[in-house]
Structure 1
Amino acid sequence: MAYRFLLALVLAISLNGCATSTFRQSWSASDAQAHPLGKTVAFVMLPVEADRRRSEDLFAQVLAPAMDVTAGYAVVAEALPDASALARAKAQASRLGYGSVLVVRVVSTRDELVYQPGVSPFFGPGFGYYGRRGPIGYPFMMDTGYYERVRIAVVELSLYAIRGDHLLWTASTEVLDSNKLERVVRILADAMLKDLLAKGVLP
């Protein structure tokens, strides 16, 4: 299910390199430092409330060392299914004194057929026998591999200054189906934090 992607994600790219390589692409506004973030509210646009709340909590936890972040469900109780609901959520955050908004959403999804290679050949234990010139008849076993259909989602993260709804930073990456919600959200949030620092959006 495309909208439950945060319950089923693992990054499709290596996360062991520098922060900027984590995202397929990232961008920051040239005047980003001229817009103080103040308090930030994190909205993850998922209609399943449990998915949304857990994801927003994790973003708030990981970003906390450098940003004052609140989970979006503490500001707007209902899920945010579309752009009009997000606009209302931003207006509510502004009335409550927040200075910036983080929005995480699925841009698109697609299915792909991926080949999973088999293991290398090896001699099966307990087979064959010893002849006059050594072991005879040891057969080898080999897994030939298989094709697996996977769901790939493009995920976008965007940080806005609420005043003027000014886009300060945005990034996107591709993810694959898995079941590592907490690990993946923490990696995405950590990569975001490092990229914001690298681009000077955060002091």
Structure 2
Amino acid sequence: MWRFLRNALGFLVASTVLMACATATQPDEMWMDPSYRSLPKKIMVVGVSRKPVNRRIFEDEFVRQITAHNVEAVASYTVLPDELQGDHNAIAGKVKEMGADTVLITRVTGKKTVKTYVPGFYPPPYYGTWPDYYGYGYNAMYSPGFMAEEEITVIETNLYDASNDRLIWGSTTEVVKRGSSQDRINRYIGIVMKAMAAQGLFY
């Protein structure tokens, strides 16, 4: 019984620690130009990725969430080939052609592994009988903590004014690599959109 409780509670502690790392609700770093007084009316969304599929997933989800705020948005892959996604002149030309007033660029800037020490968990002592007391002492001696690992993806999103190329808003967010790629992307974009709305960029 003691061993079952120890294992179950130890697992609960580990799960709680790891979930705390995965439940970010806002970007880790964020900046906005205090002089910007307008609102985006049409956004060109550019997802920078070596994998065309990832680019499309990012751009489509950003477009979906942006249009939910009654702002027009265009996924750049619909008008710009993958080999030109890093070409400023090509992007600027399409931005002008599509009549976009802002450009949102998102990209992965790094990956890392975070290690968290989960201390051993021991049930509270019970002194009713000596076998119970002995069992507690035995488990306490042989219940060490352990290291838990989480893979983190660091993603950057910047919003630029198309008229002068100046940065309007930028953020860096650490996303725990858990669940499907689509789930992580949806969660990340939801965090970014909520932060931008909180700073008055969307209604």
TM-score by length of 1: 0.68
Aligned match of 1:201? 201
Q: Deviations over 1:33-69 (max 9, x none)?
A: 23x4221121111110111111211111122111212
Unaligned 5+ segments in structure 1 are 1-9, 17-21, 122-132
Aligned match of 1:184? 184
Aligned match of 1:32? 36
The 8 Å contact of residues 33 and 200 in structure 1, kept in 2 or not, is answered as no
Greater relative CO (CA pairs within 8 A, separation 6+): 1
The 8 Å contact of residues 115 and 147 in structure 1, kept in 2 or not, is answered as yes
Count of residue pairs brought into register by the alignment = 176
Whole-Å separation in 2 of the counterparts to 1:55 and 1:189: 8
Q: What is the letter of the counterpart of residue 90 of structure 1?
A: A
Q: Percent identity?
A: 21
Q: Deviations over 1:148-183 (max 9, x none)?
A: 655433211111121111211111111232343222
Q: Is residue 2:169 matched to residue 1:165?
A: no
Inter-CA distance 98–199: structure 2 relative to 1 (3 Å threshold): same
Higher helix share: 2
Aligned match of 2:75? 71
Aligned match of 2:24? 15
Superposed displacement of residue 146, structure 1: 4.9
TM-score by length of 2: 0.68
Higher strand share: 1
Aligned match of 1:97? 99
The 8 Å contact of residues 42 and 101 in structure 1, kept in 2 or not, is answered as yes
Superposed displacement of residue 113, structure 1: 4.0
Superposed displacement of residue 196, structure 1: 2.1
Unaligned 5+ segments in structure 2 are 1-18, 124-128
**Residue aligned with 1:192, SS:** helix
The 8 Å contact of residues 46 and 80 in structure 1, kept in 2 or not, is answered as no
Aligned match of 2:5? none
For 1:99-178, list aligned pairs within 5 A: 99-115=101-117, 146-147=146-147, 150-178=150-178
Whole-Å separation in 2 of the counterparts to 1:61 and 1:12: 27
The 8 Å contact of residues 116 and 146 in structure 1, kept in 2 or not, is answered as yes
Q: What is the letter of the counterpart of residue 15 of structure 1?
A: A
Whole-Å separation in 2 of the counterparts to 1:79 and 1:11: 39
The 8 Å contact of residues 118 and 145 in structure 2, kept in 1 or not, is answered as yes
Q: Deviations over 1:61-95 (max 9, x none)?
A: 122111212222112121566xx425522332222
Whole-Å separation in 1 of the counterparts to 2:20 and 2:93: 32
